Amino acid sequence: MIDLSKLAEPGSIEESLVEKIDFQRMPRHVAVIMDGNGRWAKQRSLPRVEGHRAGIASVREIVETSARLELGVITLYAFSVENWKRPRYEVATLMMLLKEYLRKELATLMDNNIRFSPIGRIDGLDESVQRELRYAQEKTAANTGLLFQIALNYGGRAEIVDTVNRIMTLLREREASDFAIDEEFFAAHLYTANVEDPDLLVRTSGELRVSNFLLWQIAYAEIHVTKVLWPDFRRKNLFEAIVDFQSRDRRYGGVDEPDSRMWVEADSHGRRQS
């Protein structure tokens, strides 16, 4: 049971937003492109890395709130395969902050029954980062609540290529010469095998692009873009995203009832009727 008192203080803006949420129609998987840390710092005449540092508080609040909302999965995009292009100091600081976060937050993840799982080309990260990731993953492996995926050294195209290579290896091992795969088989070999696709994709800082995130999985995700910069993104902004999500009409290429039956009939005769 969701404990509403843990989501908002009485009389707060948060409470008024929580009241608008329909708990019967929650997104099960929310994916977030955490963007705008650099701009947040720039607005304050601070170095970019201060934006990353400030962004940790948002990560903490959003992960904890997702657990309290009893979402199934939250996936946060923390470092893309393209982000290696950034200055060496910025990359090193991001990795240092990640290690610090994992060390400090492990107890909270355990308290909230959260299972932690990194996705991406993890073996391309520094050994000291890999160690912390493995430790957090192993410690939380038996937790049964929220699945918290963090995308690191992640690229959507890289994931698709890695998946194709994985499948080719598998087929070689099986000495299969005559084969055809389907979407289900392909999806079962992605980094996110066994994880349902995101229902809601949030991007902060107003940028209207996907930046190589979960390209396969977001095929039918609803997209919520907010101008709020990641270090300012708090639970009220997550509630707003969910309220926005619930206002959408998800059709998956079909049409709304009751007309849909008529169309199916018309289509099965190969004719389009109006």
Catalytic annotation, residues: 35, 83
Least gap, CB of 240 to Mg ion (angstroms): 21
Q: Which of residues 115 and 203 has its CB atom nearest to Mg ion in the complex?
A: 203
**Closest by CA position to 233, among listed 71, 15, 76:** 76
Name the 3-class secondary structure at 247: coil
**Residue 238 CB, nearest approach to ligand IPE (Å):** 16
The SS3 of residue 55 is helix
The H or E element containing residue 165 is: helix 156-173
Residue 237 binds which entry of ligand IPE, Mg ion, none, CB below 5-8 Å type-dependent: none
Closest CB 63 distance from ligand IPE, rounded Å: 16
Q: Is residue 211 part of the contact set for ligand IPE (CB under 6 A)?
A: yes
Binding status of residue 33 toward ligand IPE by CB under 6 A? yes
Please choose which of ligand IPE, Mg ion, none residue 37 contacts, taking the beta carbon within 5 to 8 angstroms, the exact cut-off set by kind. ligand IPE
Dihedral, 240, 243, 244, 246 alpha carbons, nearest 10: 160
Positions in 57-86 near ligand IPE (CB under 6 A): 77-80, 83
Q: Residue with CB nearest ligand IPE?
A: 38
Between β-strands 200-203 and 29-33, what pairing exists: parallel, antiparallel or unpaired?
Answer: parallel
92-111 binders of ligand IPE (CB under 6 A): 94
Structure tokens at 176: 């299969």
Whose Cβ is closer to ligand IPE: residue 36's or residue 118's?
36
For ligand IPE, the binding residue among 25, 209, 227, 250 (CB under 6 A) is 209
Q: Which stretch binds ligand IPE (CB under 6 A): 109-117, 164-172, 206-214, 253-261?
A: 206-214
Quickly count: other Cβ atoms within 10 Å of residue 31's Cβ.
26
C-alpha–C-alpha distance, residues 19 and 231, integer Å: 25
The count of C-alpha atoms lying within 13 angstroms of the C-alpha of 227, restricted to the half-sphere facing its C-beta, is: 0
Residue 94 binding target from Mg ion, ligand IPE, none, CB below 5 to 8 Å by type: ligand IPE
Separation CA 49–CA 38 (nearest Å) = 7
User: CB nearest Mg ion: which residue?
Assistant: 35
Q: Which stretch binds ligand IPE (CB under 6 A): 34-42, 125-133, 186-194, 216-224?
A: 34-42
- Residue 250: Cβ within 10 Å count: 10
Interaction site with Mg ion (CB under 5 A)? 35
Q: Please check whether residue 249 is in contact with residue 257, taking contact to mean a CB–CB distance below 8 angstroms.
A: no
How far is 124 from 146, CA to CA, in rounded Å? 26
- Residue 39 is a binding residue for ligand IPE (CB under 6 A): yes
What is the CA angle 210-212-216, rounded to 5?
Answer: 90
Nearest distance, CB of residue 33 and ligand IPE, angstroms: 5
Residues that bind ligand IPE (CB under 6 A): 33-39, 77-80, 83, 94, 205, 207, 209, 211, 230
